[in-house]
Amino acid sequence: MTLQMCEEAAMAAIALQAAHRQPRQVPAAELRPLDPDVISAAIPAFFIGRNRAGLWVAREAHGRIGGLFLFKSSAVDFANRQSAPARCALVFPSETFELDIENRGNSLIALAAQARQLVARLAAR
């Protein structure tokens, strides 16, 4: 299987997953830093979840850095790299949320998501 075929299959899977579930959308502004009673403010925290397109989003709790990814493991790796050499706390909201800051993750995934939205709009016509 070629790389292009793998990417096409992955994007098709994302489209199917996004079509089958419609969870509540959380505004990124509601993703606030964690309460210091829950976790120390010295420990970096990242929200890891999906957006409306089904892509994985990793966003630092204070909104300093974040990215879009095809795989959950890539989002988790990104969070761990950004908080290195220490580890970080990972929070997995059940609701979807959009990346509201510059994408520092996979730039090709963001372009593919935009292309998918364009195709969906054209198909709706």
Q: Is it the case that residue 101 has pLDDT exceeding 50?
A: yes
Q: Is it the case that residue 23 has pLDDT exceeding 70?
A: no
Residue 104 covered by a domain: yes
Q: Is it the case that residue 86 has pLDDT exceeding 80?
A: yes
CA pseudo-torsion sign 63, 66, 119, 21: negative
Residue 87 covered by a domain: yes
Q: What are 3-11's contacts with CB under 8 Å, separation 24+?
A: 7/112, 10/70, 11/112, 11/116
Residue 123 covered by a domain: no
Q: How many domains does the chain have?
A: 1
Residue 13's pLDDT is 46
pLDDT digits (tens, 9 = 90+) for 63-76: 999 999 999 999 99
Residue 65 covered by a domain: yes
Residue 98 covered by a domain: yes
Which pTM was predicted? 0.66
Residue 77 covered by a domain: yes
Full domain range(s) for residue 52: 24-29+40-116
Residue 52 covered by a domain: yes
The whole-number average pLDDT for the span 106-119 is: 85
Q: Give me the amino acid identity at 53.
A: A
Residue 35 covered by a domain: no
